[in-house]
Structure 1
Amino acid sequence: MSNQETVLTLPSGFTFDYTNLYGEGRVAQADVTAITDRLQSAHKAIEHMRATGEVRGHLSKDGVPEKVLFSQLPYVQDGNLNSPESISRLKEFGESLRNKVDAVITFGIGGSYLGNKVLFDVHCGEFWNSKGSEARQGYPKLFFSGNNIDPRRTVELIEQIKYEASSKLNGNSTRPYQVMLVVISKSGSTLDTMSTFMVAYDTLKQAAPTIEVQVVAVTDPIEGAQETLLHKLAAEESWPIFSVPDGVGGRFSVFSEVGLVTAACIGFDIDAFLAGARSMDEACKTEDIWHNPALLNAALKYLAAENYGRDIEVFMPYADYLKSVAEWYIQLLAESLGKRNDRTGREVYYGRTPIVAVGTTDMHAQTQQHQDGKHDKVVQFVQIASWYTDPVIPDAFPTAPKLSEIAALQLSQALNAAYEANAAALISDNRFNATFILPILGAFHLGELLYLLALSVAYEGELANVDAFDQPGVEAYKRLLGPKLKTLKSNN
């Protein structure tokens, strides 16, 4: 492949521009050629994962073989984790909230929060909860909790709900304020989620009859002897239950009911989202690295780190409402690839350190480090090609020549110029960067982007010979936390 052929565009219009990551003075053709056999092996391993759910050497945290099934999620069919019946149930659930439930509070941490926040931000934006019911098409307000054990914010959220309920009552409402608590935990013992959920549940229940509380549990679907604490509680309380599926780690769960429950609560286009993920998966079934965006992304980032010392990845979308994508990616990259040992047990201390940035915001905060700091970073930009709304900058102050210079430009033109200047400045000093370009910011292309990133870490795990689907480092603090909590309780 020549140095000019450094843009991969899919039929959907989704584009991976790796011009500033591959070529002379960057990751070279010789680097890619040198790992040809490993690239082929990685592709075969992912094909095998798709077909069987088996990943070489992968064990659950209990030390038993565990299937990896996230690649099944985009395909809605009988027998799959997402079936026509389960998707219909989600849509019916969403419809049941319209003009009936005033507010939803979703409780979750890790992938049970981060992926859901992405869907909310892209679909709803910052001001959803300030809009009236009609502007929200009857869907409820939505708040997030359980993603930190923060006393102040937990109390303030509860007080906000009570204030809104009181305001509605004073407005001569004929019914109580309806609050739905969606609690997401596979085990039901997640400290962050369950502690804040119980505080909110208990306090809001005491606010009856002004407030009526409903609860939905998203948890392990297994019943009987292996039933989880939350599943058992939900059955006893007759709460509706959605599934945290086996074989899908939290950081991959946005395509499952874990994320789609939130999608249903806000009217997000579930079908388009899964179709985008499915389209990306189909594009990545080729063994030709130059036409497989996930394999290509994984290979170039892997080589940039291993051969050129670029072991920090700055994920920098040029869109405010994609900041949560960068935060979601932090968990995906850190937990999937930050590994002490490879599959042979050899200490390798593998993985890039991920960093959240937003353009243009962090051009005024982080770019100094990106441009003049150590040559240890690869910057991954995300750009939106076309915006639904795009104001023209007016010549509001014609007596100020400096301001008149930017008049008549669309905001997107100024945004893109800033991105282009940043990317060009970085590569002029051998600072590696690449760009994902979404034709528009919507459910389909968001599905493409998130699935590309998820599949990329699966490929890179194969290239680095590490298990991309376990997280043994997380268990280290959990082993210490339990005894500490018991000691605190015994001293109270």
Structure 2
Amino acid sequence: MSKQAGEITLPSGFSFDYRHLYGEQMVNSRDIAAISERLAAAHAAVKHMRATGEVRGHLSKDGQPERVLFTQLPYVRPGNLNSPASIARLKEFGQSLQNNVHAIISFGIGGSYLGNKVLFDIGCGEFWNSKGTEERRGYPKLYFSGNNMDPRRTAELIEHITYEARTTACHGTYRVLLLVISKSGSTLDTMSTFMVVYDALKKANPAIEVQVAAVTDPAAGAAETLLHKLAVEQGWPLFSVPDGVGGRFSVFSEVGLVTAVGTGFDIDAFLAGARAMDEACRTDDIWSNPAMLNAALKYLAAARYGRNIEVFMPYGDYLKSVAEWYVQLLAESLGKRTDRSGREVLYGRTPLVAVGTTDMHAQTQQHQDGQRDKVVQFIKIANWQTDPVIPDAFPAAAKLSQMAGLRLSQALDAAREANAEALSQDGRFNATFILPAMNAYHLGELLYLLALSVAYEGELADVDAFDQPGVEAYKRLLGPMLKQLHGK
């Protein structure tokens, strides 16, 4: 690991550049010194969580003590949530779909959708479903549903799958795997759309072979969920939504990995990246620990300087889903009414999604000239797998000709640097995560850093980063409303 003023760089090349967030007129050494005891306590708490799963004051939604186990997920060991046997079973499942299943529809919401969409976007990209079977190496097309109860899109997804079945009918039976992800087995958004699609495809003409796999709470007996019981009765393959892993952290578990193996995503490299980040963040030296430093700087930016909004702005289209995943992570983990003593604190930054360069033409006006209440977090890809050169297609047009000869990545990064510098010159805080490449390993590093950062910040703010009582409030109202509708 190398350290220089304003930057931490890991052996992999992953960097956290905080030059526009730390210094005079920004979060500074005096601010860090003022919370040195709390930083030490936060690091000790995270260390204890790693070792035991215990988080001070944390209870499940049922009010029972609950361990927090997401830090175990990068380590593939016998007895762990991800074991050699479970990883081997996931890979076998993925291989069973190769050259056998035409399409997967993944049903999930929250972390069961957002994390899976990240892995799909980075591993496959927007045009995966338009590629031929050979280009996809025999892996299925992949669609997402269950993340909303939108009648039009659900109906159009069914129409699209039945159209695909008709166009391939001369080549044999069209096979669809419905992958339904719900810990409780009664998630309204997920289960309602799953049942609509399941029923429609079972009745489709021409015939479609519908297969189902379920990802749910592994408990059997009295604690068995509706989905677990249904899967056992129907003989569907079962995978686990593990206890001790909230949905927003579940991308490293079977919840995310089971979708990923269906497209050939490198889950070994993904977990290895997360593991390397966890190991880098075991030090109590804040200037060598990117997760603790990221948490401390943003906590202080809010507490001392009123920066209560975090704009997460990756430079790259396929990273937009990372920003959307992070919105849930930050909002559910740190948006808390009370601290651990029950005192009302109304804590947490409001997270916003932006994409560079797209939103430089939409949001940057507000970032630059609006209230100084934001931290902007950029993501840079250092090396792109493909990187076209801008041609001199119209030499007579001087302004266009000036662009010629640059690679698209050079123009993209120049725009990011200009944005960062303009914000900084006007006292507007920002920082950059730099990924050496857009691949499974560095994605694992990034997502794990962000997950561990909220654990650290929860300790600094003295809030429970692992519950979500605000979500339960609307659920208590929704149940009776649905019963009234059913009665009518």
The TM-score bracket by the shorter chain reads: over 0.9
Tell me the percent identity. Answer: 77
For the Cα contact (< 8 Å) 2:165–2:206, is it kept in 1? no
Tell me, in whole angstroms, the C-alpha distance in 1 between the residues paired with 2:244 and 2:291. 21
Tell me, in whole angstroms, the C-alpha distance in 2 between the residues paired with 1:4 and 1:240. 50
Cα distance per residue 1:399-420 (max 9 Å; x no partner): 0000010100000000010000
For the Cα contact (< 8 Å) 2:99–2:140, is it kept in 1? yes
Cα distance per residue 1:305-328 (max 9 Å; x no partner): 000000000000001000000000
**Amino acid in the other structure paired with 2:195:** M
Deviation at 1:210, TM superposition (A): 2.2
Tell me, in whole angstroms, the C-alpha distance in 1 between the residues paired with 2:64 and 2:218. 19
Task: Return the TM-score normalized by structure 2.
Answer: 0.99
Tell me, in whole angstroms, the C-alpha distance in 2 between the residues paired with 1:364 and 1:99. 43
1:341 aligns with 2:301: no
Partner residue in 2 for 1:154: 154
Deviation at 1:225, TM superposition (A): 1.2
SS of alignment partner, residue 24 of structure 1? coil
SS of alignment partner, residue 436 of structure 1? strand
Cα distance per residue 1:126-154 (max 9 Å; x no partner): 00000000000000000000000100000
SS of alignment partner, residue 182 of structure 1? strand
Aligned 1:8-407 pairs, distance under 5 A = 8-169=8-169, 172-173=170-171, 175-207=172-204, 210-407=207-404
For the Cα contact (< 8 Å) 2:287–2:293, is it kept in 1? yes
SS of alignment partner, residue 314 of structure 1? strand
Tell me: CA distance 1:313–1:200, structure 2 relative to 1, closer, same or farther (3 Å): same
Task: Return the TM-score normalized by structure 1.
Answer: 0.98
Deviation at 1:176, TM superposition (A): 1.1
Query: Alpha carbon RMSD of aligned pairs, Å?
Result: 0.8
Cα distance per residue 1:434-489 (max 9 Å; x no partner): 00000000000000000000000000000000000000000000000000000000
SS of alignment partner, residue 383 of structure 2? coil
Deviation at 1:209, TM superposition (A): 5.4
Tell me, in whole angstroms, the C-alpha distance in 2 between the residues paired with 1:469 and 1:333. 11
For the Cα contact (< 8 Å) 2:166–2:206, is it kept in 1? no
SS of alignment partner, residue 164 of structure 2? helix
Aligned residues: 486
Cα distance per residue 1:82-115 (max 9 Å; x no partner): 0000000000000000111000000000000000
For structure 2, the 5+ residue unaligned runs are none
Partner residue in 1 for 2:486: 489
SS of alignment partner, residue 463 of structure 2? coil
SS of alignment partner, residue 282 of structure 2? coil
Tell me, in whole angstroms, the C-alpha distance in 2 between the residues paired with 1:315 and 1:72. 26
For structure 1, the 5+ residue unaligned runs are none
Tell me, in whole angstroms, the C-alpha distance in 1 between the residues paired with 2:308 and 2:320. 21
Deviation >4 Å, runs of 4+: none
Deviation at 1:4, TM superposition (A): 6.7
For the Cα contact (< 8 Å) 2:354–2:363, is it kept in 1? yes
Aligned 1:406-445 pairs, distance under 5 A = 406-445=403-442
Tell me: CA distance 1:156–1:344, structure 2 relative to 1, closer, same or farther (3 Å): same
**Amino acid in the other structure paired with 1:33:** A
Tell me, in whole angstroms, the C-alpha distance in 2 between the residues paired with 1:480 and 1:75. 40
Tell me, in whole angstroms, the C-alpha distance in 2 between the residues paired with 1:98 and 1:233. 26
SS of alignment partner, residue 294 of structure 1? helix
Tell me, in whole angstroms, the C-alpha distance in 2 between the residues paired with 1:245 and 1:4. 40
